[in-house]
Amino acid sequence: MADQHMQESLTDEQADALLDNDEVEETIEQDDDAEMDSGDEGEDIDLDGAEETIQLQNDSVAHFDLHKDSVYCIAQHPTHPEIVATGGGDDTAYVWSAAPADDGEGPVLPQSYESNPQPRERKGQEAIAKLAEQDETVNAITFTLPAGNFIATGTLAGKLNVYATPTQSQPTAKLVGSAKEVEEINWLLPCPHKSYPNTIALGANDGSVWVYTIDPSDSSSPLSIVQTFFLHQAPCTAGAWTPDGKLLATVAEDSSLYVWDVFGEAAAAGVTDPMGGGQAVVALGAEDERFKVDGGLYSVAVSPGGGIVAVGGAEGHVRVVGLPRFSAAPTTGAKGAGAKSKAGGSKQAPAPSTASAGQAGQLLASVQAQADGIETLSFSQPPLTLLAAGSVDGSIAVFDAAHNFAVRRHIPSAHQGAEDEDDAQHAVIQVEFVKTPLGTANPRGYVLTSCGNDGVVRRWDVRGGTTEAGKGKGLMGEWRGHRGGGEGGGILGFVQGGGGSTVVTAGDDGVGLVFNTP
């Protein structure tokens, strides 16, 4: 099992694909191939059977192994970070607690090389609830804001399910409502707008974007469409709300970016983009050669102040675009006209407002520090002004927004796997700065967490760091436990709420692991 300190018999060919413990430090710089350690004298090697004993490392403090296939998505409760929800390729989703259990004999230690004496076998985390009625692979999952009252799941068959989050008084996850308007759901996001609680957005494989509000008291329509948008002409690959929840930025494989005026507040402020059909405040696409990214866009992030949006695409291209600044007094209620109004749900009449278009829609930067697709983007919190980008080429780049997005740091082998025939670099799947609620002190704002197809969680000091292992690149630590190796054992996502002291992962090997990352 992925959670145990164990020994496995591997062929010499398989063993050659693994790094020994001393060579872990060499994954930061892409140096010449290092000779594999042949092991201590007397190591148990069966030359006739071509087998050798290899010790595997598991630094996790807890694990969840009820999924029978890859865990594709993970979400964290906004006010109880120990509660997570995961969805997988086994057409199931679960809610479970990431808090390691204590059976009275003390906590179970991480099962790593350093554990001596050998740790006792631990039991996997139990499910709080199973989210039933899934019709295909669960590809997206989220808790609603601000209080996590509901959990939404999206499948590769296009089904949206919404459940009441289990509580002590109501331990089952009751299905509130379902919708199936698209063929495939790519992502789900909760809206942070204070006046529109329990609102979610989704992006679909047909390029459409849908915004729903959840109201279980309305038995006839517990899921109501607020808005729908149909300007993307290819699969909508990613989305991001502005911190105030007033605008929603989405990107697609046709190299388009739209920033949607979901609640009509920008229109009330007189901020629109003619190319956005009256629904978007920013509309950019492949027809603009300065913005165009051949191969499409796959990631998007909005700065903490809401003033800029960054998008990432093929061949390492990153574009940074200005957003409008405006304020409006929102009206109550978020319901649109319902499913019959697919051209865009009805908008409420907003109160008078003020706005400044400023640099809205302007291309502020076009950078390319990496060689392959940008899978993930993350902005740091003030006072830092950094943007981190993770690439399929295995690298992480950090740009400084305060200095025209110059490259502050480049880690070419951030998630380098075993040294094999191809010397493969494993894709960086997610990067995320350690964050706290806006307006609160964040002493760890310089810490960046990353994961990749090598199955490793790593922490970086973006100021540089001086650790010997980091070789000046700022590696603070790494945690192992997933199979990795690029063969169905990588990490497909993580959450790190609660100040970043714990990281919970979604593994392609079908396991969720909990790491203490002080």
pTM of the model: 0.81
The distance of Cα 159 from the centroid of its chain, to the nearest Å, equals 21
| 488 phi/psi in degrees, rounded to 5 | 75, 25
* Amino acid in position 87: G
User: Where does residue 373 rank: exposed (0-12), middle (13-18), buried (19+ CB within 10 A)?
Assistant: buried
The distance of Cα 269 from the centroid of its chain, to the nearest Å, equals 32
Tens digit of pLDDT per residue, the chain (518 long)?
444 433 333 444 443 443 344 433 333 344 444 444 444 444 444 444 444 334 468 899 999 999 999 999 999 999 999 999 999 999 999 999 999 876 555 444 444 434 444 445 689 999 999 999 999 999 999 999 999 999 999 999 999 999 999 987 788 899 999 999 999 999 999 999 999 999 999 999 999 999 999 999 998 899 999 999 999 999 999 999 999 999 999 999 999 999 999 999 988 888 877 776 778 999 999 999 999 999 999 999 999 999 999 999 999 999 999 999 876 444 444 444 333 333 344 344 333 333 445 688 899 999 999 999 999 999 999 999 999 999 999 999 999 999 999 999 999 989 875 444 345 679 999 999 999 887 788 888 999 999 999 999 999 999 865 444 444 578 999 999 998 766 677 999 999 987 889 999 999 999 999 999 87
pLDDT at residue 91, rounded to an integer: 97
pLDDT at residue 441, rounded to an integer: 83
* List of domains in the chain: 7-18+43-57 (no CATH), 369-394+410-518 (2.130.10.10)
Q: How many helices (H) and strands (E) does the chain have?
A: 2, 37
Closest CA to 256 of 278, 230, 217: 230
pLDDT at residue 267, rounded to an integer: 87
User: Where does residue 35 rank: exposed (0-12), middle (13-18), buried (19+ CB within 10 A)?
Assistant: exposed
Residue with tokens 């010790």, as numbered in its chain: 55
Query: Rg (Cα) of the chain, in Å, rounded?
Result: 23
Closest CA to 203 of 175, 177, 240: 240
* Amino acid in position 454: D
pLDDT at residue 502, rounded to an integer: 95
What is the Cα–Cα distance from 84 to 77, expressed in whole angstroms?
6
Cα-based angle 497, 131, 138 (whole degrees, multiple of 5): 75
What is the Cα–Cα distance from 23 to 478, expressed in whole angstroms?
13
Residue 147's alpha-carbon distances to 87, 151, 197, 199, in angstroms, are 21, 11, 9, 12
What is the Cα–Cα distance from 264 to 9, expressed in whole angstroms?
62
Residue 88's alpha-carbon distances to 16, 70, 75, 121, in angstroms, are 31, 5, 12, 25
Residue 255's alpha-carbon distances to 64, 164, 233, 407, in angstroms, are 38, 36, 9, 23
Q: Are 161 and 131 in contact (CB under 8 A)?
A: yes
Please tell me what DSSP assigns to residue 126.
Answer: P
Residues whose CB falls within 8 Å of the CB of residue 217, separated by 6 or more in sequence, listed in order: none
pLDDT at residue 358, rounded to an integer: 62
- For the beta carbon of residue 487, count every other beta carbon within 10 angstroms: 13
pLDDT at residue 65, rounded to an integer: 95
Closest CA to 367 of 323, 321, 320, 413: 320
Q: Where are the beta strands (DSSP E) in 136-230?
A: 138-143, 150-155, 160-164, 175-179, 185-190, 199-204, 209-214, 223-229
pLDDT at residue 464, rounded to an integer: 66
User: Count of alpha carbons within 13 Å of 330, Cβ hemisphere only?
Assistant: 20
For residue 87 the two structure tokens come to 């969805």
